[in-house]
A and B are shown apart, each in its own frame.
Chain A
Amino acid sequence: MHEGLNQWDYVVAALAIGVVGTLLLVGWSLAAMVRAERRRDKVKGK
């Protein structure tokens, strides 16, 4: 390939962005859902 670049550096960087990004999305959505449902139940006085 070009300039003798080590392709594996790019592979690892891309997969890390994909996996970490997806896990952050799932974790953040789950935390937001739990927080919102707890607040709703608190407001309802459950």
Chain B
Amino acid sequence: MHGFANPARFLRLARWLMPLLLVPGLVLALGALAWGLLMVPPDRLMGDTVRILFIHVPAAWLGMAGWSTIAISSIVELVWRHPLAGIAARAAAVPGAAFTAICLATGSIWARPTWGTWWVWDGRLTSFLVLLFLYFGYIALASAAQRDAASGGGASRVTAIFGLVGAINIPIINRSVVWWNSLHQPPSITMGKSAIDATFLVPLLIGALGFSLIFGGVVLMRMRTLLANIQAEARLRRKAMA
């Protein structure tokens, strides 16, 4: 793991890995959406709105995966002081927030013709909205920590602790449809089991894989951006002191 603590080695890896994630990711995600839109039959209960789930479900998974990435990277940053772990956590925040917002928006659009309402304050929807606000808080804190780091402060640890504490919301989102009465359906896919017919499941899984690859590519791009900014600031400081 510490082999990648060297930014130069990481950048070499990121340069060839990034297109390998982004190009197949875009092809798979757009292909799965077209498959869901044009080839999948209407669902017996949901009708044509079932097609919205091919974007809504991957976005929900990635909203939660984004915060899981933040939490795991924060542990690595706090325990092993890995120099790239904090950068990985910060890099996952914006794509995580974007997919959480897409999940909430598409879910609301799906709910209107299916449930007859845009929004209900039930456990699943509310805990997911809380996740979006946690992302906003994390992004603001990380941005403040970056300015503080330039003046030699230790706000980076506060950001990592916030990332860890916020992870409490992930099992709450996951179990919310089991713990509380909800309009939202219970989990359709659990470990090794699925209640979804293969006609819907195959494009859904292909789409999830595609969007996950895009997410990975975006995280690598954001890591390269953050690293380049840090290197430029360090060089400017050295020049100013010389």
Given the known A-B contacts A15-B55, A32-B225, A33-B225, are A22 and B232 also in contact in the complex, defined by CB atoms under 8 Å? no
Question: Measured between alpha carbons, how far is A42 from B214 in the docked complex, in Å?
Answer: 29
B37 touches A39 (CB 8 A): no
Question: Measured between alpha carbons, how far is A8 from B229 in the docked complex, in Å?
Answer: 44
Within 8 A of A (CB), among B113-135: 113-114, 116
Question: Any chain A CB within 8 A of the CB of B22?
Answer: yes
User: Chain B contacts of A33 at CB under 8 A?
Assistant: 221-222, 224-225, 228
User: Chain A contacts of B222 at CB under 8 A?
Assistant: 29, 32-33
Question: Measured between alpha carbons, how far is A28 from B56 in the docked complex, in Å?
Answer: 22
A7 touches B48 (CB 8 A): yes
User: Chain B contacts of A22 at CB under 8 A?
Assistant: 29, 98, 102, 211, 214
B30 touches A26 (CB 8 A): no
Given the known A-B contacts A10-B49, A36-B225, are A18 and B59 also in contact in the complex, defined by CB atoms under 8 Å? yes
A36 touches B232 (CB 8 A): yes
Number of A-B contacts (CB under 8 A): 108
A side interface size, CB within 8 A: 28
User: Chain A contacts of B101 at CB under 8 A?
Assistant: 21
Instruction: Identify the closest chain B residue to A23 (Cβ).
Output: B26
Question: Measured between alpha carbons, how far is A1 from B235 in the docked complex, in Å?
Answer: 62
Interface 1/0 per residue, A1-29 and B, CB below 8 Å: 11101011011011101110110011001
User: Chain B contacts of A21 at CB under 8 A?
Assistant: 98, 101-102, 105
User: Chain B contacts of A37 at CB under 8 A?
Assistant: 224-225, 228
B236 touches A43 (CB 8 A): yes
Minimum C-beta distance from A23 to chain B (A)? 8
* Most chain B CB neighbours (cut-off 10 Å) among A3, A11, A39: A11
Instruction: Identify the closest chain A residue to B53 (Cβ).
Output: A14
Instruction: Identify the closest chain B residue to A44 (Cβ).
Output: B235
A13 touches B109 (CB 8 A): yes
B51 touches A11 (CB 8 A): yes
User: Chain A contacts of B175 at CB under 8 A?
Assistant: none
The one of A7, A10, A17, A26 in contact with B22, judged by C-beta atoms closer than 8 angstroms, is A26
The one of B29, B49, B102, B231 in contact with A40, judged by C-beta atoms closer than 8 angstroms, is B231
A-B contact pairs, 7 of them (CB 8 A): A5-B112, A7-B113, A14-B110, A33-B224, A37-B224, A39-B232, A40-B228
Interface set of A (CB-CB < 8 Å, partner B): 1-3, 5, 7-8, 10-11, 13-15, 17-19, 21-22, 25-26, 29-30, 32-33, 36-37, 39-40, 43-44
10 tightest A-B CB contacts, nearest first: A18-B55, A36-B228, A7-B48, A40-B232, A14-B52, A14-B106, A29-B221, A40-B228, A14-B109, A2-B116
